[in-house]
């Protein structure tokens, strides 16, 4: 019977001939079928995956050099382009559109002999925190199907959570990898802005979006990040340096770690989550690290600034979906161009996407630009400056990932409540910092929750080493 613990052990078994890539692929295809009710996948590439697995098995048998992700079974979010395969961003406006090229991250996976098994359900255009805003129907949390898996990358999270793939890619604009990872009890990594190319990622808010990684352990996330990071001529915002090796050394180095006092004292935070993170700080101090509080009086400005800026960028980015160049179009008898646009966009976009487009158009409009957009940019600059000050004295910041555990499906009807639930995750996106959610705790209600770790920009190496240390600490 096939089983998976981590990529390293799996690949050792492949090289020793104890297992075949084809065996692994068929196992995961069966798991997807068994868990079909979770609605995690939009499309599964069954026969294609089996054929690729056979090719990789022949490659090994013939002594051909193998890639670093040889045989690793990966799922991708339905906002990441895979040539010749459907990409819809879970929206009616794209219909059955097929990608014309590979995202740089996808091409990097393929170049290292990974196997892409399917694309995953998500909130429409990555806008949402529950994975209920989708034309494909809501995704269910495998631990409790009455609960949401988080969003917007809920399908990618559940695919890893329920053992339907080894790792998966999502996108994180304001927490869309870390929040579902928290709700599903897995690892969710958002790299620094510019570490991973955005070429081939459908844009929501271009100065915030970043491709992220779901996995069962830190080491697997580190390996995938090593493969998909690095320079790319197709993305002018990506850091133009060669991909790094993110070695987890486990050297027992003591770290200086800050916790944001205002975050832990915020009235929105669940008491059990607060107590668990407080106990974590005590445990870290007892283990030889230095953990101390940092005042952070900007916390109540984070969510408003984030939603002003991201909706403004969304209103611009989503203007390209007009029904003329690609995707679905809606016409009426004798309709003029204005009416054509109106019908196409009104019927093609879902409620939440339309809400954010209208908010963004409003904050960019004459008379309101300075009052909203300019002020939000100033807050963003203050946050970046404040984070730089913190990292002069500390190696990392720890804070909650979310204010509560996974909520019941259908409970989050108030959009303001949904937006406020992003209070702890959007900080890293506003500042471009790398962040990760680690599944350390279990709530008395039976659901998992994690802790979020943030380090200075482009210091994923420290982030991953601290993460591995924290995971080991809670195994003791």
- Annotation says 315 is catalytic: no
- Annotation says 77 is catalytic: yes
- Active-site pick, 77, 147, 190, 216: 77
Q: Are the C-beta atoms of 255 and 289 separated by less than 8 Å?
A: yes
3-state secondary structure of 81: coil
CA dihedral 348, 350, 356, 359 (to 10 degrees): 80
Q: Are the C-beta atoms of 108 and 227 separated by less than 8 Å?
A: yes
Tokens of 286: 């007892």
DSSP track, 149-207: --SSSHHHHHHHHTTSSSEEEEE-SSSTTHHHHHHHTSEEEEPPTTTB--TTBPPSSTT
Helix, strand and coil percent figures for the chain, each rounded to 5: 40, 15, 45
- Annotation says 375 is catalytic: no
- In the chain, what is the straight-line distance between the N-terminal and C-terminal CA atoms, in Å? 29
CA–CA distances in Å: residue 156 to residues 77, 100, 153, 188, 386: 6, 22, 6, 10, 33
The answer to whether the bond into 199 is cis (omega within 30° of 0) is: no
Non-local (6+) Cβ contacts of 111 within 8 A are: 67
- Active-site pick, 99, 153, 168, 176: 176
Q: Are the C-beta atoms of 318 and 345 separated by less than 8 Å?
A: no
- Active-site pick, 91, 99, 152, 153: 152
User: Which residues are designated catalytic?
Assistant: 77, 152, 176
């Amino acid at each position: 019977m096939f089983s998976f613990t981590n990529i390293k052990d799996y690949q050792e078994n492949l090289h020793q001939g104890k297992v075949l890539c084809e065996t692994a692929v068929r196992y995961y295809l069966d798991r997807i079928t068994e868990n079909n009710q979770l609605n995690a996948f939009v499309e599964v590439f069954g026969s294609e995956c089996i054929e690729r697995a056979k090719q990789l098995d022949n490659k090994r048998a013939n002594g051909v050099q193998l890639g670093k992700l040889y045989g690793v079974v990966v799922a991708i979010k339905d906002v990441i382009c895979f040539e010749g395969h459907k990409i819809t961003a879970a929206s009616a406006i794209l219909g059955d559109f097929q990608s014309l090229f590979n995202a740089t991250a996808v091409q990097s996976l393929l170049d290292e002999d990974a196997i892409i098994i399917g694309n995953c359900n998500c909130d429409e255009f990555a806008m949402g925190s529950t994975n209920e805003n989708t034309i494909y129907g809501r995704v269910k949390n495998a631990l409790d199907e009455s609960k949401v898996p988080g969003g917007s990358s809920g399908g990618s999270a559940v695919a890893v959570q329920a053992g339907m793939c080894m790792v998966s890619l999502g996108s994180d604009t304001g927490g869309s990898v870390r929040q579902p990872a928290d709700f599903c009890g897995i690892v969710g990594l958002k790299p620094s802005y510019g570490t991973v190319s955005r070429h081939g990622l459908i844009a929501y808010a271009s100065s915030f979006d970043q491709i992220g990684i779901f996995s069962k352990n830190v080491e697997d996330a580190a390996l995938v990040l090593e493969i998909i990071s690095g320079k790319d001529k197709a993305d002018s915002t990506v850091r133009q340096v060669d991909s790094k090796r993110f070695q987890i050394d486990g050297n027992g180095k003591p770290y200086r770690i800050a916790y944001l006092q205002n975050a832990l004292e915020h009235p929105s935070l669940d008491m059990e989550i607060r107590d668990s993170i407080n106990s974590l700080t005590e445990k870290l101090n007892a283990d030889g690290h230095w953990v101390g509080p940092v005042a952070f009086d900007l916390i109540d400005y984070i969510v408003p600034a984030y939603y002003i800026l991201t909706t403004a960028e969304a209103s611009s980015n989503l203007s390209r979906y007009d029904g003329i160049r690609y995707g679905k179009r809606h016409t009426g008898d004798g309709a003029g161009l204005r009416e054509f646009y109106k019908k196409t966009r009104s019927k093609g976009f879902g409620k939440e996407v339309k809400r954010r487009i209208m908010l963004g158009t409003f904050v960019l409009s004459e008379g309101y630009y300075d009052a909203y957009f300019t002020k939000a940019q100033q807050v963003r600059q203050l946050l970046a400056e404040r984070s730089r000050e913190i990292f002069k004295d500390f190696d990392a910041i720890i804070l909650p990932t979310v204010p509560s555990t996974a909520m019941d499906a259908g409970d989050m009807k108030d959009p303001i409540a949904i937006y406020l639930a992003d209070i702890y995750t959007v900080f890293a996106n506003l500042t471009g910092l790398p962040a990760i959610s680690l599944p350390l705790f279990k709530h008395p209600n039976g659901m998992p929750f994690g802790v979020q770790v943030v380090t200075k920009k482009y210091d994923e190496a420290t982030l991953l080493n601290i993460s591995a240390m924290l995971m080991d600490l809670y195994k003791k």
